[in-house]
Chain A
Amino acid sequence: MKTHHAKRHVVAFWLFIAPCLILFSVFFLLPLILSVGFSFTNYDGWKTMDFIGLSNYGELIKDIKFYQALGRTFGYTLFSLPFKVIVPLLIALLLCSKRVAIKSLGRTMVYIPSLLSSLVVGITINWMFSAEYGLVNYIIQSSGGTPLEWALNPRLATFVISFASNWASTGFYMVIFIGGINNIPADLYEAASIDGSSGLQTFFHITIPMLAPTTFLVTLLSTVNLLKEYALVQGITQGGPGLNTTFIIQFIFDKGFNQMQYGYASAISLLVMIIFALIAYFQFKLSNGGEQK
């Protein structure tokens, strides 16, 4: 027999989690359930919706363009990930150093791009890297060099998207790293100093290990965000040249919203979600969730 106090405790529990539960259900669980349902149909986003069993999945495993888009996405993620983690870490270290003045201004300046919408980032990056009227090519030409074909060379086009993505997210990850750095006990550094540890030794043997949980978080978030890159690609290269920057989310979007194959797009989404979840799981396992072993 529950006491009055225990009942009130249960009610309070549900009241506290209700907002989160409702939002999670409406914006995650419900779409997920719908997506699972759509993946077994030929839903066209309008009036056609017949049950077609596993046909979408059968078609998907034979779709060479799906594998190509997925491969490009992994390539882009592997290329960009080190920059996503290392650059904010170094900037955070710099902006936590006692030798650096006007730290607050520096942090604000680095953080500002994180506040911009992907559209604005795309416009800014286009302004810099446009093959015809871009600032970077103008500088190269003014210095007597040959302008680079940012829009025609697949590697350069991928680099531009990666650069834009890093520029726009560095501030956010820097803030996370600053939080981690500030939580490292000062007496560890004092002890290292007394023991005659050099700056590099302190960085590799104290700062890096103590930041492991933070680094894991940044790595995980960056990986997921890179795998899901969409808006920047649309704003900068629109998937080109050819299909060389058409990543998996563009591929899904194109199938669903442009070709109105919602059922097929749902099947791809589900498979991709499982792949992404597995990647996150292995990252978690490999780094022990950022905890010391």
Chain B
Amino acid sequence: MKKIAIFALAILLVGNVVFASGSQETAKAPKALKVMLSEEPSSEDALLNTLKEWASETGNTLDVMVIPYEDQLTKFPLMARNKDLPDLIATTRLARLYPDEFADLSKNIDISIFEPMAVEIIVDSYATKKIANILPQQFTITNVFYNKDAFDRVGLSAPTVDDPWSFEELAANAKLLQEKGGVKYGMAMDSSRARYDNLMYANGGSMVEKRGESFAVTINSPQNIATLEEFVRWNNSFMPKAIWAGGTTDNPADYFKNGDVGIYFSGTWNYNSFYTQIKNINWGVMPSPVGSAGPSAILGGSGLAVPVNAKNKDLAVDFLKWFYTKENFQNYLNRDKGLSSLVGVTYSPADKQVAEDYKILQSEVAKVTKAFSVDESSLWRNYYDNEYRDAMRQAVNGDISPAKALNDFAALLSKKSSWPLKY
């Protein structure tokens, strides 16, 4: 009996040691967080460095995969179908296109910690369904950069927040810069509809208008046609036409970095890379110009989403809880030098010039128009985003008139969406 008792005790002790250490190992076992990004991150990439910091703090590892923005539409459905999904995705549109495939993160993170505007723009599903299948990460806004050296050469002062340029002043100054400012192009603009659409909104135009619970197509309104006609003239006069005509893969940001552009319409996401990379010219940020109906800026940004069928979904949520603490988000923002999407957290640059620029960037947020919000809520982009781009390209290249480009596109959008045409 004594032998049995000793044997049982020994078994118990051994068992305790084995199972206790086993459970400890389970609790501490590092896991790999599979993260999907839309472009190859640089060494200064704010999100990647924040992820690395989390991994180092928690002992977990990162498995970063890059699927370019253009390929995500084809790759993500295949990944979802094969249940071979990343745990965390930094995306601008996947959660909007495939809302059911992403977990409702409002159950894990309090949505009230985010700036309401960031939620409205990035978390499409929250206003209508109170579901947050994506959380704001990088909150961006369109803005205008300028080449200080070129401005100095022609004796031009940059506009101020209180006294912005009109479109007429912008065009005249861009011409002046091209003629006498030592730059090849007076002005350049990313080949993105969001940049062009600012001109449309500032001139009182819109893509659609609200009609009860539905919409009507207004993209071919007279003021929109006039705006596109003016934009074509700008391209023929002082812009690198090939960018908008679509015959090149060049990025106008490179033209600006090389000092070949006087005024460059882009967005806040470029600020950090310009700050670290541009050494050969002096540059700055200026408020965006004002059209006949007022100013316009377009908010956007990417968010972080967790696929419902991700293998390490809980780990991704753990990261998000860590990321959205004030301290960690502040560190991220300091790296990103962007706008904050978290209430009570702001970027406070030590560099005086950066602080001045940041004030101008922040002032752009108030310029977001109601028309833009209505257009966004229609989700028209889900229908014919590329057709719109093609229409613009053909108009800028002179293959078709601006009126034909917009009339044809309006007809297509109307047919696909079943929204009536207003014009």
Chain A residues near B399 (CB, 8 Å)? Answer: 242-244
Chain B residues near A259 (CB, 8 Å)? Answer: 384, 386-387
CB distance from A250 to the nearest CB of B (A): 11
B246–A242 CB distance below 8 A: yes
22 contacts between A and B (CB under 8 A): A45-B74, A46-B77, A126-B249, A132-B240, A149-B242, A151-B242, A151-B250, A152-B245, A237-B246, A237-B247, A237-B248, A238-B246, A238-B247, A238-B249, A241-B397, A242-B246, A242-B393, A243-B390, A243-B394, A257-B74, A258-B73, A259-B384
B393–A151 CB distance below 8 A: no
CB distance from B203 to the nearest CB of A (A): 24
Q: Does B196 contact A (CB under 8 A)?
A: no
CB distance from B267 to the nearest CB of A (A): 21
Closest A residue, CB atoms, query B389: A258
CB distance from B302 to the nearest CB of A (A): 19
Closest B residue, CB atoms, query A47: B100
Q: How far is B255's CA from A133's CA once the two chains are assembled, in angstroms?
A: 9
Q: Please classify the interface of chain B as helix (H, G, I), strand (E, B), loop, or mixed, using the class held by over half of its residues.
A: helix
Q: How far is B68's CA from A257's CA once the two chains are assembled, in angstroms?
A: 14
Interface residues of B, Cβ cutoff 8 Å to A: 73-74, 77, 98, 184, 240-242, 245-250, 255, 258, 260, 384-387, 390, 393-394, 396-399
For the A-B complex, the count of residue pairs with Cβ-Cβ distances under 8 Å equals: 82
Q: Does A130 contact B (CB under 8 A)?
A: yes
Q: How far is B388's CA from A259's CA once the two chains are assembled, in angstroms?
A: 11
CB distance from A206 to the nearest CB of B (A): 45
B249–A152 CB distance below 8 A: no
Q: How far is B397's CA from A157's CA once the two chains are assembled, in angstroms?
A: 13
Question: Which 9 residue pairs across A and B have the least CB separation, nearest first?
Answer: A240-B246, A151-B247, A241-B247, A242-B397, A151-B242, A240-B247, A151-B248, A241-B245, A242-B399
A240–B386 CB distance below 8 A: no
Q: How far is B249's CA from A131's CA once the two chains are assembled, in angstroms?
A: 11
Q: Which of A137-167 contact B (CB under 8 A)?
A: 149-152, 157
Q: A151-B242, A242-B399, A243-B394 are in contact. Are A132 and B260 (CB under 8 A)?
A: yes
Q: Which of A133, A239, A240 has the most CB of B within 10 A?
A: A240
Q: How far is B396's CA from A259's CA once the two chains are assembled, in angstroms?
A: 22
Which of B248, B250, B385, B397 contacts A244, CB < 8 Å? B397
B77–A45 CB distance below 8 A: yes
Q: Does A213 contact B (CB under 8 A)?
A: no
A241–B393 CB distance below 8 A: yes
Chain B residues near A239 (CB, 8 Å)? Answer: 246
Q: How far is B70's CA from A235's CA once the two chains are assembled, in angstroms?
A: 13
B246–A241 CB distance below 8 A: yes
Chain A residues near B396 (CB, 8 Å)? Answer: 242
Q: A132-B260, A259-B387 are in contact. Are A240 and B73 (CB under 8 A)?
A: no
